[in-house]
Amino acid sequence: SLPKEQWAQVVEKTGGPVVYKKIPVPKPGPDEVLVNIKYSGVCHTDLHAMQGDWPLATKLPLVGGHEGAGVVVARGELVDDVEIGDHAGVKWLNGSCLHCDFCMQSDEPLCPKPLLSGYTVDGTFQEYCIAKAAHIARIPKNLPLDAIAPVLCAGITVYKGLKESGAKPGQWVAIVGAGGGLGSLAQQYAKAMGIRIIAIDTGDDKKEMCLNSLGAEHFIDFATSKNVVKDVQAATPDGLGPHAVILVAVNEKPFQQAAEYVRPRGTVICIGLPAGAYLRAPVFESVIKMISIKGSYVGNRKDSAEAIDFFARGLIKAPFKVVGLSELGMVYDKMHKGQIAGRYVLDTTK
């Protein structure tokens, strides 16, 4: 039997703070499951949501979180392909209509009526979370639920972004924001895909992590480099720049720089979502270099399953620190200051 109450981190008003308190355990609807979240990663999106950074309102009060890994403990009467006891992941895309033009083409992140975990519906910063059965990620039982949690948003998103970039084995990708949550996973996926890495971020901790454990061949410190554009181009053997750029920084500047250093015919993939930021690229160089600039937004169910499968095959090892759910406020402080190398993962029992 399930408890009636549970611990959760609740945003009561836009701007925060998060309040650690007891709230009722929700009941799943007919097409939903209830997942006992064991671990949840903390994504910068959760901080954007609390701060009200984006032109899309959140529900209030809000339980954030969308990298939740746990165990299915209840299901609605229409759910017959998920068993109680199965391991499942609650992703950013909590649900979608499944019958619009986009859902029918497996572009369900583009559904005009999405349910977003930790944004428009309560997310994974609680012990028991609801998700649409059709959209939960299936997690093999032999995988550790703490390490897999960051894959459920960061991993899926960067894997999809790398695919969208068209970068091929042996080619070069610049990962901008390489020392953060998405950036550290992006390096591991790129490495597993045979793509060579130029990491861009700042600080000795992140430099050491990128070069010694994540697979980067070059690290460029954006805070100390005298000319990021020249340094990025010089990092490729012929000096013509990387074939792709994956932008996961929470800062406008690199979104206005990437088009300058990407290789002719190259692709700039925008993933990070700094508040109020604009893309900028010189028309002349963009035309004569034939560059592409694209957005990339999470991934579909198949991308999710593939991203988990890379992890299951032992190809993805990104650093993470586990702290209690009660410590989310501390994690947000560090994230706001750009002081997190890798990902924080919350243990919902603490």
By CB under 5 A, residue 117 contacts Zn ion: no
Give the contact letters, 77-116, x = binds to ligand 8ID (CB under 6 A), - = no.
----------------------------------------
Answer yes or no: are the C-beta atoms of 111 and 100 closer than 8 Å.
Answer: yes
Residue among 271 and 291 whose Cβ is closer to Zn ion: 271
Q: How far, in Å, CA of 182 to CA of 167, rounded? A: 18
Q: How far, in Å, CA of 286 to CA of 262, rounded? A: 10
Taking CB within 5 to 8 Å according to partner kind, which of Zn ion, ligand 8ID, none is near residue 340?
ligand 8ID
Amino acid identity of residue 271, one-letter, is I
Q: Which of the residues 303 through 332 are near ligand 8ID (CB under 6 A)?
A: none
Residue among 167 and 298 whose Cβ is closer to ligand 8ID: 298
Minimum distance of ligand 8ID from residue 77's CB (angstroms)? 33
Closest of 99, 103, 131 to residue 116, by C-alpha: 131
Q: Which of the residues 167 through 226 are near ligand 8ID (CB under 6 A)?
A: 176-177, 179-183, 200-202, 222
Residue among 153 and 269 whose Cβ is closer to Zn ion: 153
Q: Strands, E, within 155-195: which ranges?
A: 172-176
For the chain, the 3-state helix, strand and coil shares in percent, each to the nearest 5, are: 30, 25, 45
β partners of residue 34: 74, 130
Which one of 134, 234, 273, 322 is in contact with ligand 8ID (CB under 6 A)?
273
By CB under 6 A, residue 340 contacts ligand 8ID: yes
Which one of 8, 37, 50, 153 is in contact with Zn ion (CB under 5 A)?
153
Take residue 72 and report the two structure tokens written for it: 């299915």
Query: Cα–Cα distances in Å, from 73 out to 83, 188, 263?
Result: 9, 32, 50
Minimum distance of ligand 8ID from residue 54's CB (angstroms)? 8
Give the contact letters, 287-326, x = binds to Zn ion (CB under 5 A), - = no.
----------------------------------------
Give the contact letters, 135-164, x = binds to ligand 8ID (CB under 6 A), - = no.
------------------x---x-------
Q: Candidates 22-30, 71-79, 129-137, 271-279 — which segment interacts with ligand 8ID by CB under 6 A?
A: 271-279
Give the contact letters, 32-51, x = binds to ligand 8ID (CB under 6 A), - = no.
-----------xxx--x---
By CB under 6 A, residue 249 contacts ligand 8ID: yes
Q: How far, in Å, CA of 214 to CA of 133, rounded? A: 34
Answer yes or no: are the C-beta atoms of 39 and 322 closer than 8 Å.
Answer: yes
Closest of 173, 156, 176 to residue 165, by C-alpha: 173
Q: How far, in Å, CA of 203 to CA of 340, rounded? A: 11
Answer yes or no: are the C-beta atoms of 346 and 328 closer than 8 Å.
Answer: yes
Q: Candidates 40-48, 78-86, 159-167, 170-178 — which segment interacts with Zn ion by CB under 5 A?
A: 40-48
**Residue 95, C-beta contacts closer than 8 angstroms, at least 6 positions apart:** 114, 115, 121, 131, 132, 134, 135
Closest of 326, 183, 168, 159 to residue 254, by C-alpha: 183
Q: How far, in Å, CA of 338 to CA of 272, rounded? A: 14
Residue nearest to Zn ion (CB): 43
Residues that bind ligand 8ID (CB under 6 A): 43-45, 48, 153, 157, 176-177, 179-183, 200-202, 222, 248-251, 253-254, 271-273, 296-298, 335, 338, 340
Residues that bind Zn ion (CB under 5 A): 43, 45, 153
